[in-house]
Amino acid sequence: MPRKIRIVHTADLHLGSPFSTLPAARAAMRRDEQWRTFYDIVSICRERKAQILLIAGDLLDAVRISSEQSRAIIRAFTEIPDTRVFISPGNHDPYIRFCPYEAEEWPSNVHVFSGNFEPVVCSELNTVVWGAAFRSAHNTSGLCPPDFEVTAPEGAKSDAIQLIVLHGELLSGSKSESSYNPIRTSWIEKSNADYAALGHIHDATPVRRSGRTYFAYSGCPEARGYDEPGPRGVYVGTVGKGRTDLEYVIVNRRDFYTLDVSIDGCDTQKIMTDLVLRDLRDQYREEFKESAFRITLIGAVPPDFSPDVAALRAALRRECFDARVYDKTTAQIDPAMLRKEKSLRGVFAEILGKRREEAVAAGDEAAIRKIDAAMKLGLASFEKEVRYHDDS
């Protein structure tokens, strides 16, 4: 009997996502890329001779997918007959009437959990796989039976490798409830399983351990937007009694990044555009062209220069996959000049300027800092909306 098994753990593919936040041509590319990443994961199963593929929910973006799409998924699984596939439907692809999991005929190597937490025995692998299904878009009461501990169901040996595949939200910190199947670390620990493959959180976690149970989120393998940044993948490796060896294999085709770019001191659109392009090219090198960037412009610029974010976005989109640009620059103003200005702003600067001189004379450092902050915020409010984080 095998003492360890080779597995692949994925989740949250969200196949069939429309990618509607991207421009149409880009969205079409991403739809294609997402499918190719799915096929790559299936290929990894074949190449690594995975005995079990665990899919911890949200394989589909929505319950309604076209029959062509179900056919494509089913065919892909048919092509890895030596891998047993276990799917625990999530909040995006709950097991409901007429859903593809119920309506389609799935190949014999695929098991879709359809309700309460239950075991499936793979006697040829000396393994038991436990899973459950979301039955609607929310689940507050939880799919985890209280005080659960793995057992050897009929047909299984007492030394079987025990796996859990489940979609849900791991409660951390002070959080005590969730609308997406709350899972407690203590529940995982008590389960005494060898590995718990989790889905729902789109950023992967490292493989952690509680008691003798290893567990991880594998994350969404192909980003659907800027809230899913950086390289993404699946867990691949072995699970045995008391030893889990999983490596995170990157599979995504394109990276999305969110970052601040300082354009401090730039005073024309051209200088700014050149600086931003140079900055991104230097930082991301060969990845730059293929990636997507959501950038926030920061730093101080002359008050008579208002960055044209739409033009900068267009310039970026000519060179990389996608770009979004937000302006959070502040106005660069010389207070001494401003105090002479005949305007409300000039009066404001004069009042604060006098107070600052008094504070300097009194050596009151705290007051100076406070006045400088008030000056910065006050001047910014004459220019543009003041944001809370400007208060530094």
Under the criterion CB under 5 A, does residue 169 sit at the interface with Mn ion? no
The distance of closest approach from Cβ of residue 199 to Mn ion in the complex, given in angstroms and rounded to an integer, is 7
| CA–CA separation, 45 and 52 (whole Å) | 8
For tokens 């899913």, name the residue.
228
Point out which span in 24-32, 50-58, 149-157, 339-347 binds Mn ion (CB under 5 A). Answer: 50-58
For tokens 């796996």, name the residue.
163
| CA–CA separation, 285 and 239 (whole Å) | 37
The distance of closest approach from Cβ of residue 244 to Mn ion in the complex, given in angstroms and rounded to an integer, is 23
Nearer to Mn ion, 180 or 293 (CB): 180
Residue whose C-alpha is closest to residue 48's, from 204, 247, 207, 222: 247
* Residue ranges in 56-115 that form contacts with Mn ion under rule CB under 5 A: 58
Nearer to Mn ion, 183 or 263 (CB): 183
The distance of closest approach from Cβ of residue 142 to Mn ion in the complex, given in angstroms and rounded to an integer, is 17
Compute the residue count for the chain.
392
| CA–CA separation, 53 and 55 (whole Å) | 6
Nearer to Mn ion, 119 or 219 (CB): 219
Number of residues that bind Mn ion (CB under 5 A): 2
Point out which span in 19-27, 53-61, 100-108, 127-135 binds Mn ion (CB under 5 A). Answer: 53-61
- Burial track 366-383 (b if 16+ CB lie within 10 A, e otherwise): eebeebeebbbbebbebe
The distance of closest approach from Cβ of residue 254 to Mn ion in the complex, given in angstroms and rounded to an integer, is 18
Point out which span in 6-14, 64-72, 239-247, 334-342 binds Mn ion (CB under 5 A). Answer: 6-14
Helix (H, G, I), strand (E, B) or coil at 192: coil
392: Cβ–Cβ under 8 A, 6 or more apart, which residues? 373
Strand pairing report for 52-55 and 110-112 = unpaired
Binding string, 190-219, against Mn ion, x = CB under 5 A?
------------------------------
Number of residue whose CB is nearest Mn ion: 58
Q: Is there a contact between 375 and 354 (Cβ–Cβ < 8 Å)?
A: no
Nearer to Mn ion, 73 or 320 (CB): 73
The distance of closest approach from Cβ of residue 204 to Mn ion in the complex, given in angstroms and rounded to an integer, is 13
Residue whose C-alpha is closest to residue 35's, from 59, 51, 57: 59
Nearer to Mn ion, 34 or 51 (CB): 34
* Residue ranges in 7-46 that form contacts with Mn ion under rule CB under 5 A: 12
The distance of closest approach from Cβ of residue 169 to Mn ion in the complex, given in angstroms and rounded to an integer, is 11
Nearer to Mn ion, 58 or 222 (CB): 58
The distance of closest approach from Cβ of residue 61 to Mn ion in the complex, given in angstroms and rounded to an integer, is 8
Nearer to Mn ion, 204 or 333 (CB): 204
Residue whose C-alpha is closest to residue 19's, from 66, 73, 79, 61: 61
| CA–CA separation, 232 and 234 (whole Å) | 7
The distance of closest approach from Cβ of residue 58 to Mn ion in the complex, given in angstroms and rounded to an integer, is 3
* Residue ranges in 287-306 that form contacts with Mn ion under rule CB under 5 A: none
Point out which span in 51-59, 142-150, 207-215, 331-339 binds Mn ion (CB under 5 A). Answer: 51-59
The distance of closest approach from Cβ of residue 12 to Mn ion in the complex, given in angstroms and rounded to an integer, is 4
> What's the count of helices (H) and strands (E) in the chain, helices before strands?
9, 19
The distance of closest approach from Cβ of residue 200 to Mn ion in the complex, given in angstroms and rounded to an integer, is 6
Helix (H) or strand (E) holding 101: helix 100-103
Nearer to Mn ion, 57 or 307 (CB): 57
188: Cβ–Cβ under 8 A, 6 or more apart, which residues? 164, 196, 210, 211, 213, 215
Contacting residues toward Mn ion, per CB under 5 A:
12, 58
